[in-house]
């Protein structure tokens, strides 16, 4: 087996984020689940956008954010995702390739437009996401580049892909392509609502040994395990995957491999500006550490440094030099 060209190839929804600052009342009046993600259709997107404060547009998408972070940290990455041939698609493509990520999935012509996520950021820094999937829901088997997947050490998938029929159905083939090429599969659960809707699929994938590395936060891992107790949930899920990475916000994160658990605290921060992308950038730091051959503590620390950097700014793509931040922290 030749050495793969890419450290990670990721498949994810290709989304441009529209971030605005809103009050807690704005969230409550609309009955939104604060801190979560929900899908919205064209009409809802139009209505919500009309009520939102002025926005900032920044490329997003969970797995794409992770790759942008890894590329900033010096890794070789490739992305598979579907945008339309419109202005936001051009923005998404530019921003990802400008970080050095390879992104060659052909544009999709015509409607629906490129996916947008309307992100409401409340004064506490929490983000509530409203996703119009647009062209992303048409990411199907045809977009899977078998040679690319075979040429990447890790295939990284986001649970959000289970929200649309076409992308959900394509994932079994993506996993098969990676495993047949002898590559590892990493998976992030994405959101507790996704786990509630598709947990059976995810548990099946774990039971069949299709997941090598699983990323989960507290709400997701308790939903997946059906256990309310966090430690019990971690233990139950850790028994199902070779490597579990569990993040828990301000309480830090842990990794479990071969029955060994390593924990790191969250990096200190004075003021959380916007939590958008926190989990994505944690995964970026962790996977970069893995690619660099670091031990679990090193990987977790890199994840925590990247997560801290992203919650100190608005939007999920780092405006600071992640590589310098990580180097400074690891040398300290």
Site residues (vs its own copies, CB under 8 A): 18, 20-21, 49-50, 52-59, 68, 86-88, 91, 94-96, 98-99, 113, 314-315, 317, 319
- Between residues 91 and 272, which has the closer beta carbon with respect to its own copies? 91
- Note the residue count of the chain: 332
Distance between CA atoms of 110 and 227, rounded to whole angstroms?
Answer: 45
Shortest distance (Å) from residue 75 CB to its own copies: 16
Shortest distance (Å) from residue 77 CB to its own copies: 14
Shortest distance (Å) from residue 68 CB to its own copies: 7
- Between residues 289 and 315, which has the closer beta carbon with respect to its own copies? 315
Shortest distance (Å) from residue 123 CB to its own copies: 11
Shortest distance (Å) from residue 6 CB to its own copies: 19
- Between residues 29 and 295, which has the closer beta carbon with respect to its own copies? 29
Q: Is 206 helix (H, G, I), strand (E, B) or coil?
A: helix
Distance between CA atoms of 60 and 117, rounded to whole angstroms?
Answer: 8
What tokens were used for 269? 């921060």
Shortest distance (Å) from residue 135 CB to its own copies: 12
What tokens were used for 41? 């259709």
Q: For strand 213-217 and strand 77-80, is the pairing parallel, antiparallel, or unpaired?
A: unpaired
- Between residues 94 and 141, which has the closer beta carbon with respect to its own copies? 94
Choose among 135, 31, 25: nearest CA to 82.
135
Report the Cα–Cα distance between both ends of the chain, in Å, rounded.
38
Q: Where are the alpha helices (DSSP H) in 52-107?
A: 62-72, 87-98
- Between residues 99 and 122, which has the closer beta carbon with respect to its own copies? 99
Residue in this structure with the two tokens 């400008």, named with its chain if needed: 98
Choose among 281, 231, 235: nearest CA to 251.
231
Distance between CA atoms of 113 and 255, rounded to whole angstroms?
Answer: 39
Residue 16: strand pairing partners: 59, 116
- Between residues 7 and 22, which has the closer beta carbon with respect to its own copies? 22
* Residue pair 94/68 in contact by the 8 Å Cβ criterion: no
Shortest distance (Å) from residue 148 CB to its own copies: 22
Q: Pseudo-torsion of CA 313, 78, 213, 324, nearest 10°?
A: -40
Shortest distance (Å) from residue 55 CB to its own copies: 6
* Residue pair 34/27 in contact by the 8 Å Cβ criterion: yes
Distance between CA atoms of 93 and 72, rounded to whole angstroms?
Answer: 16
- Between residues 60 and 285, which has the closer beta carbon with respect to its own copies? 60
- Between residues 159 and 316, which has the closer beta carbon with respect to its own copies? 316
Shortest distance (Å) from residue 44 CB to its own copies: 15
- Between residues 14 and 96, which has the closer beta carbon with respect to its own copies? 96
Cis peptide before 140 (omega within 30 of 0): no
């Amino acid at each position: 087996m030749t050495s793969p060209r890419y450290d990670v190839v990721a498949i994810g929804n290709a989304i441009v984020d529209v971030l605005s600052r809103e009050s807690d009342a704005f969230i409550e009046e609309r009955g939104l689940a604060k801190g979560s993600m929900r899908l919205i259709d064209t009409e809802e997107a139009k209505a919500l956008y009309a009520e939102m404060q002025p926005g900032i547009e920044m490329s997003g998408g969970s797995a794409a954010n992770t790759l942008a972070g890894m590329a900033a940290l010096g890794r070789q990455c490739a992305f598979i995702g579907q945008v339309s041939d419109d202005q936001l698609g051009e923005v998404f493509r530019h921003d990802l390739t400008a970080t050095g990520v390879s992104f060659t999935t052909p544009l999709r012509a015509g409607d629906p437009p490129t996916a947008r996520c309307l992100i409401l950021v409340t004064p506490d820094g929490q983000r509530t996401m409203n996703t119009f999937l647009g062209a992303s829901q048409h990411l199907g088997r045809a977009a899977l580049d078998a040679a690319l997947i075979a040429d990447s050490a890790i295939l990284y998938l986001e649970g959000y892909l289970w929200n649309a029929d076409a992308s959900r159905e394509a994932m079994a083939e993506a996993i098969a392509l990676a495993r047949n090429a002898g590559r590892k599969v990493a998976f992030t659960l994405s959101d507790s609502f996704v786990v509630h809707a598709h947990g059976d699929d995810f548990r099946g994938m774990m039971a069949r040994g299709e997941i090598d590395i699983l990323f989960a936060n507290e709400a997701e891992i308790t939903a997946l395990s059906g256990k309310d107790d966090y430690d019990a949930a971690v233990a139950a899920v850790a028994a199902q995957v070779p490597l579990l990475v569990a993040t828990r916000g301000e309480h830090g994160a842990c990794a479990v491999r071969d029955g060994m658990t390593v924990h790191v605290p969250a990096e200190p921060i004075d003021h959380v500006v916007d939590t958008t992308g926190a989990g994505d950038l944690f995964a970026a730091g962790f996977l970069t550490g893995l690619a660099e051959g670091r031990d679990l503590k090193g990987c977790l620390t890199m994840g925590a440094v990247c997560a801290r950097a992203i919650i100190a700014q608005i939007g999920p793509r780092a405006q600071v030099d992640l590589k310098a931040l990580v180097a400074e922290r690891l040398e300290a």
